[in-house]
Structures are given as structure tokens and as C-alpha cells.
Amino acid sequence: MLVPAPASPPTLVKDAMSTVVLTIGPAHTLRQAAALMSARRVGAAVVLDPDAGGIGILTERDILNSVGLGQDPDAESAQAHTTTSVVFAAPAWTLREAASAMTHGGFRHLVVLDGGEPAGIVSVRDIIRCWAPARAPEPAL
């Protein structure tokens, strides 16, 4: 009897990334962005700003920093807190390349571009999920 070999864990960004990308506009308030991120259970939103001609990223850390400074999340715009000097990943990058870029840049999310358009986001959590062994079931008492 042949037993199939266990599937190897994903090693490329395209296999680990989330393809559901939350996109917001630069005029969204931080509260609106936080509500959307919370509802979708994501730690980052891609900010599309056609007037500025680019793609940015707003993370939960950006919102936390603003609130920590005492700024009003109903008055602060996403644009004012968006990182526009974004490091992008390609779907064909290895997870090691993505992890290296995150470590070097000090961030936890990479926007994945395919043909110049956002195709997904890969996070530290996605990489850990691929690298960590599957959780063993808890023994019965």
C-alpha cells in the first residue's frame, strides 16, 4: 500500500499570502480604518491614493501610535499616517526573502504586487504559520 508523502509547507509568498486585501482611501479616518481592519481581522490596509499616484500601507501600529499621542481617530486621516515608502514583495519571492525584508525594514507586513497591482499581503503571522509545525492535539485527561 502506498502512503502519500505529506505535503511540504509553502515556501513562496504566493502560497502564504492573504489574497483578500483591505483597500481604503486616503480620506478614511483612523477610526474608520480601524473598524474595517477589525471587522476583517487584518493588521494592515492598503491605501490607494490615485492623486498621489501610489500605494501605501496603514497598519495597526500606525493607528496605535496616533492614539497613543492623543490624536483624535475621528479627525486624523489615513493619509496622514500612511507609509508611502513601501517595500513590495513579488508572488515568486521565497518566504525567506520576505522574512529578510521584514527584518531589515522593521515591519510586519508586505504588500504583494503582481503586474503593478496589489495581489495580496503577507504578514509575519503568515510566514510563521508556514514554518511552524502543525499543532499536535492536546492529550485527553
> Residue 20: which CATH number?
3.10.580.10
Question: Which of 84, 119, 87 shows the shortest CA–CA distance to 13?
Answer: 119
User: Residue 97 domain-assigned?
Assistant: yes
Q: How many domains does the chain have?
A: 1
User: Residue 8 domain-assigned?
Assistant: no
> For residue 131, what pLDDT is reported?
87
User: Residue 19 domain-assigned?
Assistant: yes
Written as tens digits, the pLDDT of the chain (141 aa) is 565 555 566 689 999 999 989 999 999 999 999 999 999 999 999 999 888 768 999 999 999 999 999 999 999 999 999 998 889 999 999 999 999 999 999 999 999 999 988 999 999 999 998 988 666 566 666
User: Residue 139 domain-assigned?
Assistant: no
DSSP string, 85-101: SPPEE-TTSBHHHHHHH
> For residue 141, what pLDDT is reported?
64
> For residue 3, what pLDDT is reported?
54
> For residue 117, what pLDDT is reported?
87
User: Residue 25 domain-assigned?
Assistant: yes
How many Å apart are CA 125 and CA 120, to the nearest integer?
14
> For residue 99, what pLDDT is reported?
96
How many Å apart are CA 56 and CA 85, to the nearest integer?
7
How many Å apart are CA 54 and CA 19, to the nearest integer?
20
- Number of Cβ within 10 Å of residue 31's Cβ equals 15
User: Residue 6 domain-assigned?
Assistant: no
User: Residue 91 domain-assigned?
Assistant: yes
> For residue 33, what pLDDT is reported?
98
Domain region containing 121: 13-131
Torsions phi, psi for 28 (to 5 deg): -60, 145
- Please list, in sequence order, all residues whose beta carbon lies within 8 angstroms of the beta carbon of residue 130, skipping any fewer than 6 positions away: 9, 10, 11, 15, 16, 95
Per 3-state DSSP, the chain is made up of helix, strand and coil in percentages (nearest 5) of 35, 25, 40
User: Residue 102 domain-assigned?
Assistant: yes
Task: Specify the pTM.
Answer: 0.82
